[in-house]
Structure formats: C-alpha cells, structure tokens
C-alpha cells in the first residue's frame, strides 16, 4: 500500500529531479553584492524570505490550489484563473521562468508516477497553451489528490524551500554544514507559525510583493558571473 508520508518525502526530496537546486531566487545577487556575508545575515535572510515572501506567494499558491481541489464543488476554471493570477504576480522573468520550468518537470514526473485526473488535466492544459503552469500550483494539486493533508503539504513545502536556501547559503557565503543545520533547526517554530496561519492570507494580501528580493532577482539577470539560473 502506498504511504502518503513516503510520497510527501519523495516529492520534497532534494534528489527529486526537477532542477530546484539550480535556483537561488535572488540569494546569489545578495551574496554577490556583499549583503549576505555571515551566518547571522544568512539566518536573517532566510527568516525574512519565509515570513515576508514565501508566506504570501508560493506557500499561499500551494494552499489555494490544495483548497480548490479539495472543494466539494470542484471547478477547474478556478485553477486556470489561479494559474493566470500567479503568472501575473511573478514579475521578475527569472522567477516566472523558474516557476514554470519546475512546474513542468514536476508534472511530468508525477504523471509518470500515477497522478490523479485533476493533475493530468492541468498538465494537458499547459500542453495546449491554456495555462502557463506553475510549480506551487502543481504541488498543491498533487498533494491533495494523493491524500496528503494541507498542513503536511505546507509544512513540507516550507521546509523544502528553507532547506534549499540554507544549502545555497552554505555554498555561496560560505558557511559550515553545522551552521546550516543550526539555521534549519532554529527556523522550525517559524514554519509551524506560518503554516498555522496560512489561511489568513486573503485576496487583499495574496501575492504581496517582497520588493527587495524581486529587485535582486532582476539584478541577477544581468549579473556578470552566475552559478545559479535565478
């Protein structure tokens, strides 16, 4: 029998081959401009991204997609509208492309693993040009159809993003692996807090812009030397 927990661990594992390790989401620009140069600043960076960016954006998109698929009167048009909204909210081109490419790779894999009808329909809509396709939406949809709770889905999604940020900080700043693990451990209460209040993100705050990070993402596009795609 398939385990929901094992499925959740697999799709959030760093070895799940969708290319997420190639993106820093503006962190490389922060390090290049010497604004994240120590363990203290790396910790502050991860805390701010979780609290002021991920909470209102990709985590909120996962949450919205999960709830749409979980509704008693499921309307596919709501997912297409969410897809269009997410496309509009992702202003930096690198971030928009990252969300699209990760979404495509994620969908291709989960379809091979036996995704449900809703996920398959979303993948076909992207192929037909009816939707852009975004990773956060695909993640929320697949988790719901697989039977993974919203709380577990969001917790894993936050942790996966935090783990990627810390890993990139370890490589770029650089930091020791021990320091990286201490940051991961210290952020656990924050993840629990954000997951617990995720439903408080309403239409007025959905996609709220974290302007500093978006500027860094735009600057990264023209950075002289780059290790990461975004």
Which pLDDT tens digit goes with each residue over 13-70? Answer: 888 888 877 889 889 999 899 999 999 999 999 999 999 999 999 999 999 999 999 9
Q: Residue 79 domain-assigned?
A: yes
Asked if residues 122 and 131 have their Cβ atoms less than 8 Å apart, the reply is yes
pLDDT for the residue numbered 20: 79
**Residue 1's pLDDT is what?**
45
Tell me whether residue 2 is in a domain. Answer: no
pLDDT above 70: percentage of residues in the chain: 99
From residue 127, alpha-carbon distances to 119, 122, 132, 133, 196 in Å are 13, 9, 9, 9, 35
* Tens of pLDDT, residues 106-134: 999 999 999 999 999 999 999 999 999 99
d(CA 85, CA 207): 9
Higher pLDDT, 183 or 225: 183
* Position 215 in a domain: yes
Report how many domains make up the chain: 1
Average pLDDT, the chain: 93
Backbone angles phi, psi at 148, to 5 degrees: -85, 130
Question: How many other CB atoms are there within 10 angstroms of residue 219's CB atom?
Answer: 16
User: Does some domain include residue 51?
Assistant: yes
**4 located within any domain:** no
- The whole-number pLDDT of residue 2 equals 62
DSSP state letters, 182-208: HHHHHTHHHHHHHHHTGGG--TTTTT-
- Whether 37 maps to a domain, the answer reads yes
Q: Where in the sequence is the domain holding 158, given as residue range(s)?
A: 25-220
* Residue 14 included in any domain: no
The pLDDT of 190-210, averaged and rounded, is 96
CATH number of the domain within which 181 lies: 1.10.4190.10
- Looking at the whole model, is its pTM more than 0.85? yes
The reported pLDDT for the residue numbered 223 is: 82
Nearest-Å Rg of the Cα atoms of the chain is 17
Residue 190 lies in a domain: yes
Asked if pLDDT for residue 184 goes beyond 90, the answer is yes
């Amino acid at each position: 029998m398939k385990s929901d927990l094992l499925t959740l661990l697999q799709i959030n594992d760093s070895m799940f081959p969708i290319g997420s390790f190639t993106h820093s989401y503006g962190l490389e620009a922060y390090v290049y401009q010497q604004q994240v140069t120590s363990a203290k600043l790396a910790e502050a960076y991860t805390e701010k991204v979780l609290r002021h960016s991920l909470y209102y954006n990709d985590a909120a998109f996962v949450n919205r997609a999960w709830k749409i698929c979980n509704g008693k009167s499921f309307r596919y048009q709501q997912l297409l509208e969410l897809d269009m909204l997410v496309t509009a909210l992702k202003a930096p081109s690198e971030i928009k492309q990252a969300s699209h490419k990760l979404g495509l790779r994620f969908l291709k894999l989960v379809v091979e693993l036996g995704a449900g009808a809703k996920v398959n329909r979303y993948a076909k809509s992207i192929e037909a040009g009816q939707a852009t396709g975004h990773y956060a939406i695909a993640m929320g949809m697949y988790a719901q159809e697989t039977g993974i709770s919203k709380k577990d889905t969001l917790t894993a999604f936050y942790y996966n993003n935090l783990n990627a940020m810390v890993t990139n900080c370890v490589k770029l700043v650089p930091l020791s692996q021990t320091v990286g693990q201490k940051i991961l451990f210290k952020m656990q209460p924050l993840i629990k807090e954000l997951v617990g209040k995720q439903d408080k993100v309403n239409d007025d705050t959905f996609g709220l812009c974290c302007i500093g990070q978006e500027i860094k993402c735009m600057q990264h596009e023209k950075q002289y030397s780059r290790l990461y795609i975004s």
